[in-house]
Amino acid sequence: MGQHRSQLVKEKFNYFNKFKILNFFLLSIPFLLPLEKTTVRFLMVIFTLACLIYGDYSQLKIKKNWIKLSIVCLWVIPFIQLLLLNKVDEYLNNLITKITLFLIPILILIGYQSNKINLSGILKFFIYGTVTSSLFCLINAVISYYFLKNDNAFTYTSLSLFHDPSYFTMYLNFVIGIIYLNNLKPIMNFKLSTNLSLIIVSFLSFFILFASSRIGWITNVLLHLFFISCVFYKKKMSKKAIIYFLVLMVPFSTVIYTNKTIQSRFNEIIFYTFQKVDQKKVPSSTSARKKIWSTSFKLIKEKWITGYGTGLSKKVLKKQFKKQGYDLFFKKNYNSHNQYLQVFLDQGVFGFLLLVFFTFGMLYLSLKQKDFIYSLFLAIMILNFMTESILERQSGVIFFAFFNTIFFFQWFNKKYLLLE
């Protein structure tokens, strides 16, 4: 009897330790993701080993889990293409970047599906990590401006220390969206005070403004408009919130009016978005994108059924840039700067339709099921997919693969319970 009890205690102790280890990594990834990229790479290796060692492989025997893993089918295509084309060695870096999309869903399935995923903790640690990263960037900008006399310290890549501004502002906007949603309908087991929420949202919004990413600006404005619309609709707009939004407009307008870099980037949106692109000059990154998209469309027409292959399309795009006299794009080896076009170039019409149906389809289904945190995430991803090839960089791949897997699995589990 005593031996049996001792065995039970030992099993419970081992289970508790295993759970603590796995939970530590599940919370570390969202915290470190906005911070240093090398650390995240190392963490992903340890996370993989932990899941493989402590994972519950019986989860792979459950039929519904294989249905869930159908999420992976979108990312299987690149691997099959590279193997068929015998280009694995040549495009190994691209393969390593993409493998995260394939690996994370499997690791989370075997590592966490037998335990309840701590969504509240994941969101909290992502907020902590993002705010910490932003403060580091601000401190670095202050030092650079006052001691190193860098006049551009508070702008664009000089300010966004750890990630490209487009990617980092995507993180910041997601945090702002989480805070807004949590104030409208609690999604975390802790509540930020109204004052702290306003301080964080204001700080991150100003950071986005100075980071000068136009898609970051557009997403940020849409988030504020969405929140204001919701509180007016629910008739929950407090005097404090009204004063906050009015007061916030004054410094925002002042910065836009006085800061030449920000002002010029705003002018680009207004004057170049609908302007015909000059074939010889690149007056702005907005019109540069129009050139890149035009070139991508031209290549898609030539091989729209199968695509050029993952990793190979970038080489084809580079050749086309040289052919059309776009020297800057050729030297910098630009991708298509649109995830949907990038997938079309890589994988052809099948891969393109798969990505479109998944992102827009899941946005519709998550809204229908009132899973608003997943809807928020997908809406932000779709907006950023329009102007960046998000899944071509580690900053975008890990962010998308990690959060999309967490949200999709949770959505699926709720949906599955409703069907039972």
Q: How far apart are CA 238 and CA 251, in angstroms?
A: 21
> pLDDT averaged over the chain?
80
Q: How far apart are CA 82 and CA 98, in angstroms?
A: 12
Q: How far apart are CA 137 and CA 41, in angstroms?
A: 20
3 state DSSP class of 116: coil
Q: Which ranges of 55-118 does DSSP label H, i.e. alpha helix? A: 63-68, 73-84, 92-112
Q: Where exactly are the structural domains of the chain?
A: 118-272
- Residue 250's pLDDT is 60
pTM of the full structure? 0.87
45-59: average pLDDT: 88
Q: How far apart are CA 393 and CA 58, in angstroms?
A: 33
Q: CA dihedral in degrees (263, 265, 270, 274; nearest 10)?
A: 160
- Residue 9's pLDDT is 39
Which distant-in-sequence residues (6+ apart) come within 8 Å of 315 by Cβ? none
Q: How far apart are CA 213 and CA 388, in angstroms?
A: 11
1-13: average pLDDT: 47
- Residue 417's pLDDT is 61
Lowest mean pLDDT among 175-184, 308-317, 387-396: 308-317
- Residue 114 pLDDT > 60, yes or no? no
Lowest mean pLDDT among 75-84, 100-109, 213-222, 299-308: 75-84
* Angle, vertex CA 54, rays to CA 51 and CA 58, nearest 5: 90
3 state DSSP class of 279: coil
The DSSP secondary structure of 118-161, one letter per residue, reads -HHHHHHHHHHHHHHHHHHHHHHHHHHHHTS--TTTTSHHHH--
* Angle, vertex CA 20, rays to CA 18 and CA 24, nearest 5: 120
- Residue 388 pLDDT > 70, yes or no? yes
- Residue 158 pLDDT > 70, yes or no? yes
Beta-sheet strands, E only, within 58-197 = none
- Higher pLDDT residue, 262 or 118? 118
- Residue 372's pLDDT is 92
**Token pair listed for 252:** 């925002």
Lowest mean pLDDT among 116-130, 227-241, 380-394, 398-412: 227-241
Q: How far apart are CA 394 and CA 163, in angstroms?
A: 10
- Residue 385's pLDDT is 96
Q: How far apart are CA 331 and CA 76, in angstroms?
A: 31
Provide the residue type at 68 as one letter. K
- Higher pLDDT residue, 127 or 96? 127
217-223: average pLDDT: 89
